[in-house]
Amino acid sequence: MSESTPAPSVTGQDEVVDLCRELIRIDTSNYGDHSGPGERAAAEYVAEKLAEVGLEPKIIESHQGRASTVARIEGEDSSRPALLIHGHTDVVPANADDWTHHPFSGEIADGCVWGRGAVDMKDMDAMTLAVVRDRLRSGRRPPRDIVLAFLADEEAGGIYGARHLVDNHRHLFDGVTEAIGEVGGFSFTVNENLRLYLIETAQKGMHWMRLTVEGTAGHGSMTNNDNAITELCEAVARLGRHKFPVRLTKTVRSFLDELSDALGVELDPEDMDATLAKLGGIAKIIGATLRNTAAPTMLGAGYKVNVIPGQATAHVDGRFLPGFEDEFLADLDRILGPRVRREDVHADKALETGFDGDLVEAMQTALKAEDPIARAVPYCLSGGTDAKSFDDLGIRCFGFAPLKLPPELDFAGMFHGVDERVPVDGLKFGVRVLDRFIDNC
């Protein structure tokens, strides 16, 4: 703020940092059951901020304390299809002892707002609130209707948030054809002339599986050629070591083409280890989008050292690329073999849309206006988001939560990581980009 100008009215850029800090201070840890504090306090906070600028937000509680907030902004042309901007208000838990600054303090240090949710995703929640409040205070209606959704439970699959709304309150999304949400729009600085902004246009699907082997129970001292633990462990080890083949989806191919152009080098999809080494922090994000993956994550069997149990189980986090689910399941069965029973404990689809159209144009234009060396590129997310639920309504979903990041920040490592933090300048940049994006949406 310049000292020479008379007290200007509060802008989105002024507010965004405080909104983000206040949201972080509301503990919304999601333990995957109802043992956490829930999202009710955050839902009420958001509703109050929206009501202050004349909206009529609805709070929808799916289970005691598990609440989401939805509001609709009337645009200049309500006959056009509407845009959804969605964010989740829950966060994964944090162990305060591991952190430099308390994870629910929202402290500002070293130019960053620190705390659980700083990048996943109270930053975008705050940016959305800041932009909407600024626009409505100054009477700048969006060109079309915008539905805002601040959702519970994303970190546990959205059952009590997005999934609940889509299944039970779908009228809230009437007329919505496109959406923006998390895990996209962040920057990767290539050099002083080029900064890529990764727009999420695809995401992997998931099969979270339980594997079971039944064997013959018996005394640990006796001969037993049908030991469930031995059989299961061999199968799990085969799976854990298996490298699924590289499969280039439309999105990943287009990302690699952009990257190859940006870096001025030929990229060999069959030798991606060398390519990934050039990518620094985002290698973690991109590496897992080249192939299906299956990571063993839990093991269980037995109850006494001299008793061979009749059963052994393992859990595996399986992720498949858009278009490669059938191949994934066939590969799993082949690798695991006939002794292993495989059941899903949770499954969800993969998503993929094109990197084209007016909305994508609006993202590119807004980024370029705020960062002259910006280039927006499509990418595939290895995880999943609430977009999977909204896709059921035929909504075309993008990950676009714009952030300009300092090159040295390990952004991928911030997600669910210790010392999660977001640069203050990044938040303000995001507000400016989102505001321009809404102008043209």
Q: Which is nearer to Zn ion, 104 or 324 (CB)?
A: 104
403 part of the interface to Zn ion, by CB under 5 A:
no
119 part of the interface to Zn ion, by CB under 5 A:
no
Find the helix packing angle between 424-439 and 12-25, rounded to 10°. 120
Which tokens belong to 1? Answer: 């703020």
Q: Which is nearer to Zn ion, 90 or 325 (CB)?
A: 90
Residue number with the shortest CB distance to Zn ion?
120
Give the binding range for Zn ion (CB under 5 A) out of 116-124, 164-172, 280-288, 329-337: 116-124
Token pair 């001969």 is found at: 223
Q: Which is nearer to Zn ion, 120 or 348 (CB)?
A: 120
Q: Which is nearer to Zn ion, 106 or 117 (CB)?
A: 117
Site for Zn ion in 185-224 (CB under 5 A): none
Taking CA atoms, 291 is separated from 9, 144, 378, in Å, by: 51, 39, 17
Q: Shortest approach of Zn ion to residue 271 CB, angstroms?
A: 32
Q: Shortest approach of Zn ion to residue 182 CB, angstroms?
A: 5
Which residue, among 47, 34, 71, 297, has the nearest Cα to 153 in the 3D structure?
34
Q: Which is nearer to Zn ion, 294 or 401 (CB)?
A: 401
121 part of the interface to Zn ion, by CB under 5 A:
yes
Give the binding range for Zn ion (CB under 5 A) out of 27-35, 91-99, 120-128, 228-236: 120-128
Q: Shortest approach of Zn ion to residue 189 CB, angstroms?
A: 23
Q: Shortest approach of Zn ion to residue 293 CB, angstroms?
A: 19
Q: Shortest approach of Zn ion to residue 240 CB, angstroms?
A: 26
Identify residue 381 by its one-letter amino acid code.
L
Give the binding range for Zn ion (CB under 5 A) out of 34-42, 114-122, 172-180, 231-239: 114-122
Q: Shortest approach of Zn ion to residue 183 CB, angstroms?
A: 7
Q: Which is nearer to Zn ion, 118 or 147 (CB)?
A: 118
120 part of the interface to Zn ion, by CB under 5 A:
yes
Are 393 and 147 a contacting pair, CB within 8 Å? no
Q: Which is nearer to Zn ion, 31 or 300 (CB)?
A: 31
Are 90 and 152 a contacting pair, CB within 8 Å? yes
Q: Which is nearer to Zn ion, 68 or 364 (CB)?
A: 68
Torsion-angle region of residue 357: left (phi > 0), alpha (psi -120 to 50) or beta? Answer: left
Q: Shortest approach of Zn ion to residue 329 CB, angstroms?
A: 27
Burial class (CB in 10 A: 0-12, 13-18, 19+), 41: middle
Q: Which is nearer to Zn ion, 86 or 291 (CB)?
A: 86
Give the binding range for Zn ion (CB under 5 A) out of 5-13, 117-125, 140-148, 241-249: 117-125
Taking CA atoms, 81 is separated from 74, 135, 304, in Å, by: 12, 20, 62
391 part of the interface to Zn ion, by CB under 5 A:
no
Give the binding range for Zn ion (CB under 5 A) out of 34-42, 115-123, 131-139, 196-204: 115-123
**Distance in angstroms (rounded) separating the CA atoms of residues 326 and 181:** 28
Q: Shortest approach of Zn ion to residue 32 CB, angstroms?
A: 14
Are 150 and 50 a contacting pair, CB within 8 Å? no
Q: Which is nearer to Zn ion, 124 or 235 (CB)?
A: 124
Q: Which is nearer to Zn ion, 121 or 412 (CB)?
A: 121
Q: Shortest approach of Zn ion to residue 37 CB, angstroms?
A: 18
Around Cβ 48, how many Cβ atoms within 10 Å? 11
Q: Shortest approach of Zn ion to residue 387 CB, angstroms?
A: 11
Binding residues with Zn ion: total (CB under 5 A): 3
Site for Zn ion in 170-189 (CB under 5 A): 182
Which tokens belong to 97? Answer: 């002892």
Would you say how long the chain is, in residues? 441
Q: Shortest approach of Zn ion to residue 154 CB, angstroms?
A: 6
Are 193 and 274 a contacting pair, CB within 8 Å? no
Taking CA atoms, 309 is separated from 192, 233, 321, in Å, by: 61, 14, 36
Q: Which residues bind Zn ion (CB under 5 A)?
A: 120-121, 182
